[in-house]
């Protein structure tokens, strides 16, 4: 049963990425760009912190962050905790774009969840979060 859940999660991930790309294409964002911007919505983080939090490689996040910086959506700032690992922060323009993405995402989520019981969504979230935490605990 767990293998079926994992396989379905892989399929769902692909669909979510494609849907996210479609949701933000006219804003010049891909799901990867949106994901990095969302990771720093509340506070600046280093590229390594973003990668760790999102389960991505540091190199992949660095590439996306560099493109976002070139487009003026994020900027790099000094990090008081680490001399070399700059913090990635949203610019004012990045905040405006992310606010629009967030508005669209809420509408999209509401459409997707129509007719689903909140308790069922909460149970699914608990299962997925538990699996992720167990996988994190197994990392060398």
Element (H, E) at 86: strand 82-90
In a domain, 88, yes or no: yes
Supply 128's token pair.
């997925």
Cα separation, 39 vs 31, in Å, equals 12
Q: Is the dihedral of CA 39, 45, 48, 53 positive or negative?
A: negative
Residues 60-109 have pLDDT tens digits of: 999 999 999 999 999 999 988 888 889 999 999 999 999 999 999 999 99
The count of structural domains within the chain is 1
Q: Order of strands, edge to edge, in the sheet holding 45-46?
A: 45-46, 82-90, 74-79
Residues 5-16 have pLDDT tens digits of: 999 999 999 999
Per-residue DSSP letter, 71: T
In a domain, 46, yes or no: yes
Contact 94, 29 (CB under 8 A): no
Per-residue H/E/C for 100-133: HHHHHHHHHHHHHHCCCCHHHHHHHHHHHHHHHH
Residue 139 has pLDDT above 90, yes or no: no
Mean pLDDT, all residues of the chain: 94
CATH number, domain of 60, equals 1.10.10.10
In a domain, 124, yes or no: no
């Amino acid at each position: 049963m767990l293998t079926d859940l994992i396989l379905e999660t892989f399929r769902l991930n692909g669909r979510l990425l494609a849907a996210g790309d479609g949701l933000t294409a006219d804003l010049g964002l891909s799901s990867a760009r949106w994901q990095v911007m969302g990771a720093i919505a509340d506070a600046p983080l280093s590229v390594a912190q973003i990668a760790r939090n999102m389960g991505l490689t540091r190199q992949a996040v660095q590439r996306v962050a560099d493109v976002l910086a070139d487009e003026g959506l994020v900027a790099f700032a000094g990090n008081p905790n680490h001399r070399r690992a700059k913090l990635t922060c949203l610019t004012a323009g990045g905040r405006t774009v992310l606010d629009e993405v967030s508005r669209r995402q809420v509408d999209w989520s509401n459409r997707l969840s129509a007719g689903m019981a909140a308790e069922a969504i909460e149970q699914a979230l608990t299962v997925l979060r538990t699996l992720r935490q167990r996988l994190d605990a197994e990392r060398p």
